[in-house]
């Protein structure tokens, strides 16, 4: 075949017409460099979040109060690891290795969701994380199933399907505790008080202040804005809280005439401090990940060497 190489303008036009027609972009397709860079950043951040997200819950596996809850928690954390793995794989189709992504995480060049920099202090936190943190994540991920990058979209479809039990198990824990003793009710309310605002912050800054949103929306990497998703989340979640007798810790919460809710001001100073590394658990989470990675170096090495011998 001898064809004249298309110009960059032609490639871009073709790319944009695919996006406009709701076609997916696949790894071997031409894509603008900014699109690739945005995906590298967003998908790897998403992958890191899943993996770092194993830690706050992992903190309670050995203390789970029943064998049933222990199995569920283990299976859930295992899913988080699996979802990190799917996402790293999707991110690797962009030409960057998993090892490189992990290195960027360790060097502080890549972020993960700040919500995991908060501590899991009592058993109800496991309920609150499943119900609120997974609930918020799912709201975002359902939307991302329609993202324009094929491997990311397919990973999201699989993840949404598998995570369908995560929110339910969390809410079930909260519900059982609210039906339980006074101690349990207090733990549940305490967990909601601590996780509510970090969960709302998970959707990111307001649309008018979000640097990364505009291109991402134009290229259909993101399909709904931070504020739209946050509203969806609170409208679903507040009635669930009230149903089991929990009080949402927002003195300025308003129920509007159309049945939707308007939340009070989010403490963005806190948000940015945690993003910058000054949250309660930032250091601990990253050190844990580095330590596990470093301790595993000799294992990966011997598996590699043994693999060569096998060929």
Q: 215 phi and psi, to 5 degrees?
A: -60, -40
Q: Per CB under 8 A, which of residues 91..150 are in contact with other proteins?
A: 123, 150
Nearer to other proteins, 209 or 245 (CB): 245
Q: Is 259 among the residues that bind other proteins (CB under 8 A)? A: no
Q: Among 164, 267, 278, 283, which residue sits at the site for other proteins (rule: CB under 8 A)?
A: 164
Q: Is 81 among the residues that bind other proteins (CB under 8 A)? A: yes
Nearer to other proteins, 230 or 271 (CB): 230
Q: Among 167, 189, 225, 282, which residue sits at the site for other proteins (rule: CB under 8 A)?
A: 167
Q: Per CB under 8 A, which of residues 41..80 are in contact with other proteins?
A: 51, 54-55, 58, 61-72, 74-75, 77-79
How many beta carbons lie within 10 A of that of residue 42, not counting itself? 20
- Sign, CA dihedral 271-274-278-281, equals positive
Q: If you search the block for the tokens 């590394």, which residue do you land on?
A: 277
Q: Is 303 among the residues that bind other proteins (CB under 8 A)? A: yes
Instruction: Tell me the closest approach of the beta carbon of residue 106 to other proteins, in angstroms.
Output: 14
Question: How many chain residues touch other proteins (CB under 8 A)?
Answer: 70
Can you state the angle between helices 150-162 and 134-144, rounded to 10 degrees?
Answer: 140
Q: Per CB under 8 A, which of residues 6..25 are in contact with other proteins?
A: 23-24
Nearer to other proteins, 20 or 251 (CB): 20
* Alpha helix ranges (H) inside 179-252: 182-201, 213-218, 226-243
Instruction: Tell me the closest approach of the beta carbon of residue 56 to other proteins, in angstroms.
Output: 10
Three-class SS of residue 261?
strand
C-alpha to C-alpha distance for 99 and 172, rounded to whole angstroms: 37
Three-class SS of residue 259?
coil
Instruction: Tell me the closest approach of the beta carbon of residue 58 to other proteins, in angstroms.
Output: 5
Q: Is 173 among the residues that bind other proteins (CB under 8 A)? A: yes
What is the phi-psi region of residue 120: left when phi exceeds 0, alpha when psi lies from -120 to 50, beta otherwise? beta
Instruction: Tell me the closest approach of the beta carbon of residue 236 to other proteins, in angstroms.
Output: 8
C-alpha to C-alpha distance for 160 and 165, rounded to whole angstroms: 10
Q: 99 phi and psi, to 5 degrees?
A: -60, -40
Instruction: Tell me the closest approach of the beta carbon of residue 211 to other proteins, in angstroms.
Output: 28
Q: 149 phi and psi, to 5 degrees?
A: -90, 120
In DSSP notation, 110-145 reads S---GGGGS---SHHHHHHIIIIIHHHHHHHHHHHT
Q: Are 237 and 171 in contact (CB under 8 A)?
A: no
Q: Among 93, 160, 162, 207, which residue sits at the site for other proteins (rule: CB under 8 A)?
A: 162
Nearer to other proteins, 13 or 23 (CB): 23
User: For the chain, what is the total number of helices (H) and then of strands (E)?
Assistant: 15, 2
Q: Among 14, 16, 183, 209, which residue sits at the site for other proteins (rule: CB under 8 A)?
A: 183
Q: Which residues bind other proteins (CB under 8 A)?
A: 23-24, 26, 51, 54-55, 58, 61-72, 74-75, 77-79, 81-82, 84-85, 88, 123, 150, 153-154, 162, 164-165, 167-169, 171-173, 175-177, 180-181, 183-184, 240, 243-244, 288, 291-293, 295-307, 309
């Amino acid at each position: 075949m001898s064809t004249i190489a298309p110009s960059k303008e032609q490639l871009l036009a073709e790319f944009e017409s695919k996006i406009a027609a709701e076609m997916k972009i696949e790894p071997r397709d031409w894509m603008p460099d900014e699109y690739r860079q945005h995906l590298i950043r967003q998908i790897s951040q998403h992958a890191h979040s899943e993996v770092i997200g194993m830690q706050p819950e992992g903190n309670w596996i050995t203390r789970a109060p029943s064998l049933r809850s222990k199995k569920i928690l283990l299976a859930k954390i295992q899913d988080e690891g699996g979802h990190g793995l799917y996402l790293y794989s999707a991110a690797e189709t962009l030409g960057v290795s998993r090892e490189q992504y992990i290195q960027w995480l360790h060097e502080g060049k890549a972020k993960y969701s700040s919500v995991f920099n908060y501590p899991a202090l009592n058993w109800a936190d496991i309920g609150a994380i499943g119900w609120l943190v997974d609930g918020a994540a799912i709201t975002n991920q359902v939307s991302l199933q329609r993202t324009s990058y094929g491997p990311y979209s397919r990973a999201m479809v699989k993840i949404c399907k598998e995570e369908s039990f995560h929110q339910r198990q969390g809410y079930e824990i909260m519900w059982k505790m609210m039906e339980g003793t006074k101690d349990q009710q207090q733990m549940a309310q305490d967990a909601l008080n601590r996780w509510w605002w970090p969960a709302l912050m998970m959707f990111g800054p307001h649309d008018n202040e979000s640097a990364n949103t505009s291109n991402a929306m134009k290229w259909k990497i993101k399909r709904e804005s931070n504020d739209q998703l946050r509203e969806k989340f609170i409208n679903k979640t507040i009635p669930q809280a009230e149903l089991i007798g929990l009080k949402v810790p927002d003195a300025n919460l308003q129920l509007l005439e159309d049945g939707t809710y308007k939340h009070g001001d989010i403490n963005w100073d806190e948000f940015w401090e945690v993003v910058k590394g000054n949250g309660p658990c930032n250091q601990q989470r990253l050190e844990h990940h580095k330590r596990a990675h470093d301790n595993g170096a000799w294992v990966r090495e011997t598996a590699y060497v043994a693999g060569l011998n096998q060929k």
